[in-house]
Amino acid sequence: MKELKFAARYVWRHLPQYILGILALYAVDLVNVYVPEYTGDIIDGLTEGVLNMDGAMRIVWMIVGMGAAIALGRFCWRFFIFGAARSIEKEIRGDMFGHLSTLSMRYYNEHKTGDLMAHFTNDLNAVRMLLGMTIISAFDATVMLILVLMKMVDYVSVKLTMVAVIPMLVIFFGDYFYGKAMHKRFKAKQEAFSHLTDQVQETVSGIRVIKAFVQEHKELAAFALTTKSTQDKNLRVVRLQALAMPLLDLVIGLSSLLALLYGGYLAIHGEITVGQFVAFNSYLGMLVWPMMAVGDCITSVSQGLASLGRIVGIMAEKPDIVNGEQTDHSITGLRGEIALNHLTFAYPGHEDVKVLEDVSVRIAQGETLAVIGRTGSGKTTLPSLLLRLYDVPDGMITIDGRDVKEIPLAVLRENIACVPQDNFLFSDTLQSNIAFGSHDKTLASVEHAAKMACIHDNIVEFPEQYQTMVGERGVTLSGGQKQRSSIARALMKDAPVLILDDALSAVDTDTERNILDNLKAIRQGCTTIIIAHRISTIQDADHILVLDDGRVEEYGTHEELLKNDGLYRSLFNKQQLEKQLRDEHPEEGGEQHA
């Protein structure tokens, strides 16, 4: 019922189109059932000599007119109902896409991209068929069945109708079991397709790694197993259809045989005329479509409901992170004063593993806080919490003295610019990528941001310059170019708070110094958080937070921390030694290039 209620909301919006389409379909069926009767009248009239050629031609022209009316009616019901189904498909796709954009990170951590893509392709196609062709088939089959049976009884013979129709009753009993089996098999088929789509997407995204590790044969073997599973699931659906259709033909053939035998007997004994006998066989042929449509409808309904169930499952998901009762919608901007108060956090589903534990730090407006620590110390979790991609207990994070949950989500994220570790670029031009998220998308503003991020000189060397199309996820750019493009995008936002999450790891030290100098010059009075592994990146920060295993290990300025015999000094000494070795043996260590 949930699936039907979901679909009914969309059908209701297009109810006038459905009504017009169904009226046109009813008119077509009504005209159709009179054609065999008029044909029988011509045969009887000519056979009995009561109908001359002029009279016969008048009936013929009536039949031709009926054919034209049927053609027009068929165009109308296709135009209205198929058009409505296509519109509903577009609306569901848009609503589903919009809903997905509201869901929290937890949902995307638990669901694969390929599976979500399958909802937008195969599932929506099955829903469109359910709300289009299936509605037509169901209504058409029902109306035709009733009208034809009425004509068979009224125009020909009750006895002959009963004899011919009895075998067809078997179809209705078989349809129940056929529908249940088809629903189960189609759902398995859709899940297999989702898995196949996900594997293709993941393989294409990771093709560089696959080639680098020479794992093409392994991936091909894994893909062969997936396609075999998909094939098996599809064949289970096809086998059921292949079994049902011959059985349906057998029942229809048996009914036709009985009609010929008993109808011929009645015609010979004068209980029906030859014209009625011919008309009855035409009516019996018209019953074949409703009988076959029943099987097709059950298949389409089973498939459509299975797909609707998967879509309803998505639409029923609720975002974890929303504006709540405590949200103060009067807040329209941020200054950038940030405080972490005994911040403790574990990712959903892994509550026993604390990523951050009892972290306290305060950042005044306009200050720069640097965060450093070993891999896995919880550094990258901080930006996710500040952006409220995940929630923490009340009071643990405040901005401008207000709990982060009091700030409207749109305001919070609009006022924080973040350069994540994963420098994601869209398959678009460099100008569009850099201007993404900014209200000012002019080329002059983009160029200024690119210069501050030290990527402008690289861009102007490209043949298309700022109109250069980058590949999927920025694959056509180097690691340093992607990082600097992401920094330029963040600078275009001109937000009060800027977070750089290991955003300079792929650039050389000279470029790093230039970028940091530019940031210092253009972000006066703005808050900056720099997360890094290299001490050269963070040594000029106002405060440095050293994390180890999710806890605060040290806190202070660069000079203060060097005086301590702690983790920061240990990291500094190791990096200085590595630099010294690279300087002494440049042919072995080499340099990082953007």
DSSP lists the bridge partners of residue 497 as 416, 527
CA atoms of 231 and 233, how far apart (whole Å): 5
- For residue 559, what pLDDT is reported? 84
Distance from C-alpha of 303 to C-alpha of 286, rounded to nearest angstrom: 26
pLDDT tens digits, one per residue of 81-108: 888 888 888 888 888 888 888 877 777 7
What's the pLDDT tens digit per position in 475-500? 667 777 888 888 888 888 888 888 88
Over 60: is that where the pLDDT of 146 sits? yes
Binned at pLDDT 50, 70 and 90, residue 292 comes out as low
Highest mean pLDDT of the ranges 155-164, 314-323, 333-342: 333-342
Q: CB neighbours (10 Å) of residue 43?
A: 19
Reported in sequence order, the residue ranges of 355-492 that DSSP labels E, i.e. its strands, are 356-363, 368-373, 397-399, 402-403, 416-419
Q: How far apart are CA 373 and CA 505, in angstroms?
A: 14
Instruction: Indicate whether this model's pTM tops 0.75.
Output: no
Statement: residue 430 has pLDDT above 60: yes
Distance CA 124, CA 311 (A): 8
* Amino acid present at 351: E
Across all residues in the chain, what is the average pLDDT? 79
* pLDDT over 50 (residue 590): no
Q: Which domains does the chain have, with CATH numbers?
A: 2-315 (1.20.1560.10), 330-415+499-594 (3.40.50.300), 422-494 (3.40.50.300)
Strand 543-548 and strand 368-373: pairing? parallel
Query: What are the structure tokens assigned to 88, written together?
Result: 């509903």
Highest mean pLDDT among 43-47, 166-170, 249-253, 318-322: 318-322
